[in-house]
Amino acid sequence: MDLTITPLMASDIGQVAAIEAMQHHAPWSAASFSDVLRQGWHSGVLKDANHTIQGYYIAMTAGDDEELLTITVHPDAVRQGYGKRLMQDLLGHARQRGAARLFLEVRASNAPAIRLYEQLGFKITGMRKNYYSLPANLQTGTPAGREDALLMCLPLNGEIH
């Protein structure tokens, strides 16, 4: 399949917000993605040959570090290497910008994402206890709760911090 990664544009926000809503318990709104454009944060939107968005990431520079804020793949496109492709794009751009490290946080239960990040060389550097909210599951009777976030880092200049 012919895929391209381009920066987020205003015309992408509807599709991106729809994917976000399908994949996250507490999704970013369309207004949040509009703010990304106003703030000038870094982004990559993975589109197929039909210009259908298959995934995206948003990152920001903080000093000499880069922080991944969100990365998401359409539910029909998971396990096809799209997350890795998006991460490689982000890593390339972060290195071009001269970032020393790339930071991210991930739900402790998100084993596929953790595996991907570890394959790319990220190391767990900490944890934020009870960071993410979990909605109640009425089908199983599980009450709403909280979930830990793992903090991960990848040095981009060969140094370990």
Cα–Cα distances in angstroms (integers) from residue 22 to residues 15, 16, 25, 38, in the given order: 11, 10, 8, 24
Phi and psi dihedrals of 19, rounded to 5? Answer: -65, -45
- Output the pLDDT for position 158: 59
- Output the pLDDT for position 140: 77
Task: At 47, list the tokens.
Answer: 């589109």
Within a domain: residue 125?
Answer: yes
The catalytically annotated residue of 105, 118, 132, 147 is 105
Length in residues, the chain: 161
Interatomic CA distance for residues 74 and 51, integer angstroms = 13
Single-letter amino acid, residue 102 = L
Within a domain: residue 160?
Answer: no
Task: At 125, list the tokens.
Answer: 């550097």
SS3 content of the chain, % helix, strand, coil (to 5): 30, 35, 30
The catalytically annotated residue of 117, 131, 132, 159 is 117
Which CATH number goes with the domain that contains 19?
Answer: 3.40.630.30
Across the chain, which has 161 residues, the per-10-residue mean pLDDT values are 92 96 89 95 95 96 94 92 96 94 93 94 92 74 79 80 42
Within a domain: residue 138?
Answer: yes
- Give the alpha-carbon dihedral of 12, 4, 28, 151, to 10 degrees: -160
DSSP code of residue 132: E
Q: Which domain holds residue 71?
A: 4-155
- Output the pLDDT for position 12: 96
Within a domain: residue 161?
Answer: no
Within a domain: residue 66?
Answer: yes
Phi and psi dihedrals of 48, rounded to 5? Answer: -85, -175
Within a domain: residue 140?
Answer: yes
For this structure, is 105 an active site residue? yes
| Beta pairing partners, 50 | none
Within a domain: residue 69?
Answer: yes
Number of domains in the chain: 1
Task: At 49, list the tokens.
Answer: 């040959």
